[in-house]
Structure 1
Amino acid sequence: MPMRGRGRYRARFAESATDLDRAQALRWRAFRAVCGQGAEDGRDVDAFDALCRHVLVEAAGDGRLVAAFRLLPLADGREIGRSYAAQYYELAGLRRYPGKMVEMGRFCLDPECHDPDVLRVAWAAMTRFVDAEGVGMLFGCSSFLGTDAETYLDAFAMLRERHLAPKRWRPVVKAPKVFRFGLRLRRRQSDPRRAMQLMPPLLRTYLMMGGWVSDHAVVDDDLGTLHVFTGVEIAGIPPARARALRLLAG
C-alpha cells in the first residue's frame, strides 16, 4: 500500500537499511539525546525493528526526516504477546480481541520541527494503512518525556477521570516501576487546560479519537520516559473525527 502526502510533507514506508538508520537516528534525538542517554553512535535500536514496517515523514522539498514510527500488525488478540507493549503490561484481556490489530511504536517528531502539519500527515498515513488492512484496533505506548510523575499530575488526573480503558481490555501492572495514577489520584481534580498542555501530541490525538489508556504509567529508565498503554477501537472513533481523518488520508 503506497504512502503519500500533501503540501510540504510526504509519508512513505522505509525501503532500505539507510532509511531505517535515519529513523533510528531521529528516535535517538527525540527520546535519548534530550535525556543525555543512548549509544555513542546516536541511534535508538531494538529487536522489534526487524519485525516492524517503518514509516518516514519527510519534508517534500529537501527530504529532511521530520517524523517516524513503526507498525507491527497482529492477526488478532491471540498475538498480543508479540507486541512491544507486552513487555511492560499484562494484556490478558486483549487476548480475546477478535479482529486485526496494529501496534504503533517509537512515534517521534523532530525536536526542532513544530509544524502541526507533520502530525496530520503522519495520522493520514496511519489512516490509509488501517483502512487498507482492515485493522480493528490501534494501540501502543504514549510517552511523556522524563520519569518524574509529579510533573504530569494534571495530565494523569484527567486520564483517570475521563479516559481509562474499558475493564474488559484494561492492562494490568507488570513492569517493576509504575506510577498508579488510577489509585493515587482518585481525590485530585485536574486542571483541564494544563492537563492538555502536558499531554504528548500522539496521546492528544488518540484521545480525540476516543482512545483510552491504562490506569498506570510505566517508568522507563532506559528511554527516560513515562508511558501509558494507549488503544483505540477504529469502529468507536467519533464519525466526524473519522471523516476528518479520511479526508486527510485522501
Structure 2
Amino acid sequence: MKKLSKKLAKKLFGKKFANKSRTQLSQVEEVSVVTKTVKTKKPAFKIEWANSPGEVKEAQRLRYKVFAEEMGANLSQNAEGLDIDEFDAYCDHLLIRDHDSLKVVGTYRVLPPHKAQEIGRLYSDSEFDLSRLNHLRPKLVELGRSCVHQDYRSGAVIMALWSGLAQYMLKNGYEIMLGCASIPMADGGHFAASLYNSLGNDQMAPTEFHAFPRLPLPLDKLNGGLDVDAPPLIKGYLKLGAKICSAPAWDPDFNTADLLTMLRLSDINPRYAKHFLGI
C-alpha cells in the first residue's frame, strides 16, 4: 500500500498531521476506509464498502429509486427495481448508511485503474473522447452513479461520501479522480449552458487535459446568459479544487448535461482538505 507523501500531507493537513509516524497514519487509514461512523447533529452515518452481492444490490436499489423513479431516467426495467449495468461488476461500491436504521442513503461507485483495464474502458469513454487523458489512466479512478436519498440531502451524506472516497484514494495510493458531473435538463439545457459559460479560466483544466463530448449540448442554440448558481455537488467539487475538462455532453438516458470533472489530491484546496478527508 502506497503512503501519502510527507510533502503532500503537510500541504493538505498541516505540519502536525504530516509529522505523524507511519504507524499512526496506517491506523488512521485502516479505521477510516473499512468502516467509519460520521456523527452529525442527528442522524449519524456509517461509511462502508459493499462486501457482498446483496450489499451491491442495496446501492443499485437506491440508484434506481433516485434516477428512475425520482428523476425519470430511462433505465433498463427489472423486477427488483435495480439500476444495473456492465460496469457494476468491476467497481467498488461506497455505501453510506443511516446509523440507526442501517438503510443505505448515499452511494458512489468507483472504478479503479486495474479494473478499468480489465473491462477495457471507462464509463466516461461512452460520452467523451478521452484521448488527451490516456496517459493518466494508470493512476486515476473513475467515480459514477453518485446519489443521495431524497430524505437525507442536508449535505452531511455528501460529506460522508467524500470522506470515504478520500480515504480510499489514500489507502490505495491513487492520485486522480475523474467522473461526470451531471446537470439536470428539465428546462431544455439553458441552465446547463449558462453554468458552463459562467465558469472561469481557473475552474477549467488546461487544454492538454480537455476531453470532447461525443454528443455535445448545442450551446449556440440555448440561452447561455442566465444568472445561475451551480448545483451543490458541482459547487463542492469546484471548492475542493476540481477542474472541468469538457464542454457539456448530453446524456439522453438520464436527460442530463454532463461535465467531465477531474480532481487531483495534490490540488485539493487546503481550506477544505480536512473536511474532505474527514480526519
User: TM-score if structure 2 supplies the norm length?
Assistant: 0.76
**Offset at residue 64 of structure 1 (A):** 1.4
- For residue 207 of structure 1, what is the aligned residue in structure 2? 238
CA distance in 2, matches of 1:218, 1:28: 22
Distance 2:238 2:93 in 1: 23
Q: Which residue does the alignment assign to 1:6?
A: 38
Paired residue secondary structure (2:168):
helix
What is the distance in 1 between the residues matched to 2:201 and 2:115? 29
**5+ residue gaps in structure 1?**
none
Shift of 1:184: 7.2
The aligned residue for residue 124 of structure 2 is 85
Q: How does 1:8-23 map to 2 (within 5 A)?
A: 8-23=44-59
Q: What is the deviation of 1:158?
A: 1.9
Conserved 8 A contact 1:67-1:122 = yes
SS at 1:97 equivalent: helix
- Following superposition, the deviation at residue 40 of structure 1 comes to 4.8
Instruction: Tell me by how many angstroms 1:173 deviates.
Output: 2.8
Comparing 150-159 with 73-82, which one deviates more in the overlay?
73-82
Question: Residue 217 in 1 paired to residue 248 in 2?
Answer: yes
Aligned to 2:216: 178
Compared with structure 1, are the counterparts of its residues 204 and 79 closer, same or farther at alpha carbon in structure 2 (3 Å cutoff)?
Answer: farther
Q: Which residue of 1 aligns with 2:3?
A: none
Shift in Å, 1:161: 5.4
RMSD of aligned Cα (Å): 2.7
Instruction: State how far apart, in whole Å, the 1-side matches of 2:51 and 2:118 are.
Output: 26
Q: Which residue of 1 aligns with 2:25?
A: none
Contact 1:138 1:231 in 2 (8 A): yes
- CA spacing shift, 1:34–1:244, aligned 2, 3 Å: closer
Shift of residue 217, structure 1, vs aligned partner: 1.6
Taking the aligned partners of 2:147 and 2:191, their CA distance within structure 1 comes to: 20
Matched-pair identity in %: 24
Kindly indicate whether residue 165 of structure 2 is the aligned counterpart of residue 165 of structure 1.
no
Look at both structures and tell me which one has the larger radius of gyration over its CA atoms. Answer: 2
**For the residues of structure 1 that align with 2:175 and 2:224, how far apart are their CA atoms?**
34
Is 1:34 the counterpart of 2:70? The answer is: yes
- What residue is the counterpart of 2:26 in the other structure? none
TM-score normalised by structure 1 residue count: 0.85
- What displacement does 1:63 show? 0.6
Q: Is the 8 A contact 1:171 1:214 kept in 2?
A: yes
**After TM superposition, what 4+ stretches of structure 1 lie above 6 angstroms from structure 2?**
76-80
Does 2:144 correspond to 1:105?
A: yes
CA deviation vs aligned residue, 1:160-185 (integer Å, no higher than 9, x gap): 655222111110232xx32154x778
- Structure 2 residues not aligned, in runs of 5+: 1-32
Matches within 5 A, 1:37-76: 37-38=74-75, 39-41=77-79, 42-74=81-113
Q: 1:190 to 1:75 in 2, by over 3 A?
A: farther
User: Displacement of 1:56 after TM fit?
Assistant: 0.7
Distance 1:89 1:95 in 2: 12
Q: Confirm or deny: 8 A CA contact 1:75 1:101 kept in the other structure.
A: no
CA distance 1:31–1:202, shift in 2 (3 Å):
same
Alpha-carbon separation, structure 2, partners of 1:243 and 1:91: 31
Question: Which letter maps to 1:195?
Answer: D
**In 2, Cα distance between the equivalents of 1:133 and 1:232?**
16
Contact 2:113 2:137 in 1 (8 A): no
Deviation at 1:241, TM superposition (A): 2.1
Partner of 2:194: 154
- Report the number of matched residues: 239
Which position in structure 2 is the counterpart of 1:138? 177
